[in-house]
Amino acid sequence: MAIATINPATGETLKTFEPLNDAEIAAKLDLANQTFEKYRQTSFSERSHWLQKAAEILEQDKADFAKLMTLEMGKPFKAAIAEVEKCAAVCRYYAEHTPAFLADVSVKTDASQSFVRYQPMGAILAVMPWNFPFWQVFRFAAPALMAGNVGLLKHASNVPQCALAIEDIIRRAGFPEGAFQTLLIGAAKVADLMADDRIKAATLTGSEPAGASLAVAAGKQIKKTVLELGGSDPFIVLESADLETAVVTATTARMLNNGQSCIAAKRFIVAEAIADKFEKLLLEKFEALKVGDPMQSDTDLGPLATPGILQDLDQQVQAATKSGGKVLTGGHPLSDRPGNFYPPTIIIDIPLEASIAKEEFFGPVALLFRVPDIDAAIKLANDIPFGLGASAWTTNNQESDRLVEEIEAGAVFINSMVKSDPRLPFGGIKRSGYGRELSIQGIHEFVNLKTVWVK
């Protein structure tokens, strides 16, 4: 993929970039290493001050950053504004809490003194996706920088201006030159970076194949990785649920980021007793959504990020119908306008044994399944290679306890949509990846837990 800004609402190529050559990459790695030796000696107070300043810049210029995101990957402008604000929040969260998160932990032993000390590792490579081009980066950068690491960002090739803007924010905030650098390179260069001794660890948010490729490259070098990959999150609605609220939330959860979110609700698993009503209400909500220019405030659904994503999604929908599924609404790209637009789509009656029923649909397509009871709902929710998040709706406490205990996922939200929060660890199991971001667990992923024994 070319490193370029291509407006997904129009298909127009707005700006292209030359990828860094080997000498330029080497220079940036050298700078990162040199910066780390001094930066690791800075105090939490200094890092906190710089990160608070980054939060201020994000808030002051949020309209500009939001417009850039909408221009490069098509998310509705109002959602882009919210994303920038969330980035400011994660900066403030780690600026405030890191001194406690990384304080020495004393352990009573037969030594005169024994404790655990948390120390930075060095240069951490972040391979980040286009769908949340600011948030995915800042939820890595904030804890990494506060821990004393330096960052190198290999962003998705279709959001290069977002990548450069983030580097500029870190620089303007006062962090030392080289503390956070953007590498405008293609995916083929990642394996070489992982083989370089100057890179100490890596994190990736993206597809299964991308995660597997990074894990292989890192494994050859015995380097730590954190992977946050795909998901086909279940949205379970049982008979006792507040149906009206569940349907409203289901619509929001499926259409989040134009349907292009790893934690978007994708498989709607509904108790048979209420399935007819849920289906009718969901259809009404989907058909009321406005598809259009993502810069307009009344737009609910913008374009998909690239023509390739549009094509892949449509092929999945056609495969679902060939397997026996029925399309209630939508089901084909919108050909009456330029850009990568796909309408809100609902598919029912997909056979559970069909392979397409277990795939991730990365766009505004909802798969609706009916089940007789909670046992069948949990079984269907777990019968998938992924395990990122799950939303479940019930007012029965016993059902709630079972859902929390038995659903195989990194997160279970009861009577709410799945979302990330700086205060809570985020990540998945199975083929959705490993490791955690955010909270205290996230900042501990890329530090050396050093045991100290003094006698």
228 catalytic residue (yes or no): yes
The one catalytic residue in 262, 359, 399, 445 is 262
Distance CA 113, CA 262 (A): 45
Q: Give which of 362, 351, 340 is closest to 266, Cα–Cα.
A: 362
Instruction: Say if residue 228 is exposed, middle or buried (CB neighbours under 10 Å; 0-12, 13-18, 19+).
Output: buried
Distance CA 414, CA 401 (A): 10
As given in the structure block, the two tokens for residue 134 are 């600011």
The one catalytic residue in 72, 83, 167, 228 is 228
3-state secondary structure 70-116: HHHHCCCHHHHHHHHHHHHHHHHHHHHHHHHHCCCEECCCCCCEEEE
**What are the φ and ψ backbone dihedral angles of 14, each rounded to 5 degrees?**
-100, -35
Distance CA 446, CA 131 (A): 24
445 catalytic residue (yes or no): no
Helix, coil or strand: residue 24: helix
Sign of the Cα pseudo-torsion (391, 394, 395, 396, in order): negative
Distance CA 169, CA 53 (A): 9
Are 334 and 341 a contacting pair, CB within 8 Å? yes
Residues with active-site annotation = 228, 262
